[in-house]
């Protein structure tokens, strides 16, 4: 499912509006012959995906730019993306065909027709896409409620999008058998019985979810920004499935690369080295000056990326060692354990019988059992802690109330200052002593 990124060698980008979808092309040979020497240049990834209204949906910026770079989703001739505009059913099917990698086939079948009552309403540019969508079974469930009418200009609802995405994932048969009865939305009656398995499966696979008020809103139109996010999640799901099957071909890997950052080099000749199962020692890529860089879904700079971050890279179509899109994620997690020591900017916890040491962020926040902000001096050996780690560094420490009793066997090493130090499994562990501690022989 990884699509090849088209590299556009242009002096200007010409856009033609077609049914709400802009189609981009570079100058043909005759046009290029008329471009004065030295003026023709390649548009960078940033320039190719720059939309005047990008700020209207910053949360979806990464998804929009990634799909625009792959030419799955495109902007309009006025330089906008219109992220809050609704997607119609024709656009939904067009996007699905592009995700299947069948756009060339769709373009070649523009003179065909299908036997639908409202076929005359299908715009000429969309005919081939509908033909391919029909053959791929994308219309089958979409039209279940509508009979023989396509209603191409009707808004694509959340239900229509879910059904189409599940079909795109190739798991429609599984969805029909999936227990939709596990859904607990307040508006469950608005979801047709036949579609509940599709909704339940899409939620389980992390493609989308319901709203905080426990509704699903199946008939609500889907915005273009939401559609971009959904398509990106589906593509990632398909990539993960292919990786699990170990059937990803080398040509796919030439265009995209995923792994863990080993090193980042900034400056006039930026580079990034990434390791994965196929390249355990790391593979190095040059970074284009106009590359798009994201960190945890937000625009970032190369300098903000660090070794250990998980990263996805899209490579230039002509230069397969040149990164034009970099999306990194750093890990945030919580750990719980018993405090052993706090010293020299480090914190050591006893977690399931083993000692683990974490560096402390200079601005680490410490909260007591009642949620009150404290300083590091409040921490004492033996306290039960929950520690929030960002990139392996402790940024928040919460002392937990605990009425639990535990038994621990070990050799006494030291009694001092209201604490006892035991040697347990070869390691020294210190615990505070209750003022009324009882000692038995």
Binning pLDDT at 50, 70 and 90, where does residue 269 land? very high
pLDDT in tens, 73-107: 988 989 999 999 999 999 999 999 999 999 999 99
CA 243 vs. chain centroid, Å, equals: 16
Over the stretch 38-74, which tens digit does the pLDDT of each residue have? 444 456 788 888 899 988 999 999 999 999 998 899 8
**Tell me, what's the pLDDT at 407?**
65
- Is residue 290 scored above 80 in pLDDT? yes
Greatest Cα pair distance, the chain, in angstroms, is: 99
CATH 2.40.50.140-classified regions of the chain: 255-329
State pTM to two decimals: 0.72
List strand residue ranges (DSSP E) for 127-270, in order. Answer: 256-265
Residues paired with residue 360 on neighbouring β-strands, in sequence order: 394
**148-159 mean pLDDT:** 91
Among 243, 392, 240, residue whose Cα is nearest residue 308? 392
**Residue 27: pLDDT over 60:** no
Instruction: Look at residue 375 in the predicted model and tell me its pLDDT.
Output: 92
Confidence grade of residue 244 (pLDDT, cut at 50, 70, 90): low
What pLDDT, on a 0 to 100 scale, did the predictor assign at position 441? 73
Residue for token digits 């209207």?
A: 56
Backbone Cα Rg of the chain? 28
pLDDT greater than 50 at residue 182: yes
DSSP 82: -
Second CATH level (architecture) for the domain 332-409: Beta Barrel (2.40)
The pLDDT confidence band at residue 437, using thresholds 50, 70 and 90, is: confident
pLDDT in tens, 317-340: 888 899 999 999 998 899 999 998
The fold adopted by the segment(s) 255-329 is OB fold (Dihydrolipoamide Acetyltransferase, E2P) (2.40.50)
Instruction: Give the rounded distance of the alpha carbon of 113 from its chain centre.
Output: 37
């Amino acid at each position: 499912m990884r699509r090849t990124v088209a590299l556009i060698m242009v002096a200007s980008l010409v856009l033609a509006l077609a049914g709400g979808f802009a189609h981009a092309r570079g100058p043909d040979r005759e046009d290029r012959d008329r471009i004065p020497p030295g003026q023709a240049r390649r548009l960078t990834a940033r320039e190719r995906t720059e939309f005047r209204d990008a700020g209207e949906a910053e949360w979806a910026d990464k998804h929009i730019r990634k799909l625009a770079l792959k030419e799955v989703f495109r902007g309009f001739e006025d330089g906008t993306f219109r992220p809050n505009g609704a997607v119609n059913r024709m656009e939904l099917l067009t996007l699905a065909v592009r995700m299947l990698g069948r756009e060339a086939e769709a373009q070649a079948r523009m003179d065909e027709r299908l036997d639908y009552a409202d076929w005359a309403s299908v715009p000429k540019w969309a005919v081939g896409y509908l033909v391919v969508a029909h053959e791929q079974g994308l219309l089958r469930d979409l039209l279940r409620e509508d009979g023989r009418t396509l209603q191409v200009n009707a808004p694509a609802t959340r239900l229509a999008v879910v059904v189409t995405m599940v079909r795109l994932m190739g798991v429609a048969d599984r969805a029909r058998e999936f227990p939709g009865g596990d859904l607990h939305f307040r508006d469950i009656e608005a979801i047709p019985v036949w579609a509940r398995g599709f909704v339940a499966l899409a939620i389980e696979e992390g493609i989308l979810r319901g709203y905080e008020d426990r509704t699903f809103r199946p008939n609500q139109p889907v915005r273009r920004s939401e559609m971009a996010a959904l398509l990106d999640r589906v593509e990632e799901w398909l990539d993960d499935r292919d990786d699990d099957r170990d059937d990803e071909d080398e040509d796919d890997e030439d265009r995209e690369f995923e792994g863990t950052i080993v090193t980042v080099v900034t400056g006039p000749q930026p580079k990034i080295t990434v390791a994965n199962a196929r390249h355990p020692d790391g593979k190095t890529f040059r970074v284009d000056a106009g590359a798009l860089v994201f960190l945890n879904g937000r625009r970032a700079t190369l300098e903000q990326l660090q070794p250990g971050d998980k990263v996805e890279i899209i490579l230039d179509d002509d230069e397969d060692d040149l990164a034009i899109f970099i999306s990194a994620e750093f890990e945030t997690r919580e750990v719980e354990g018993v405090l052993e020591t706090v010293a020299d900017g480090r914190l050591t916890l006893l977690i399931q019988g083993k000692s683990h040491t974490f560096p402390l962020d200079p601005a680490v926040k410490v909260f007591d059992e009642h949620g009150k902000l404290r300083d590091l001096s409040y921490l004492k050996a033996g306290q039960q802690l929950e520690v929030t780690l960002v990139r392996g560094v402790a940024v928040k420490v919460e002392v937990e109330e605990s009425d639990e009793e535990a038994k621990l066997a070990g050799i006494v090493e030291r009694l001092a200052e209201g604490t006892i130090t035991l040697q347990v499994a070869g390691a020294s562990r210190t615990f505070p002593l209750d003022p009324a501690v009882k000692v038995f022989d």
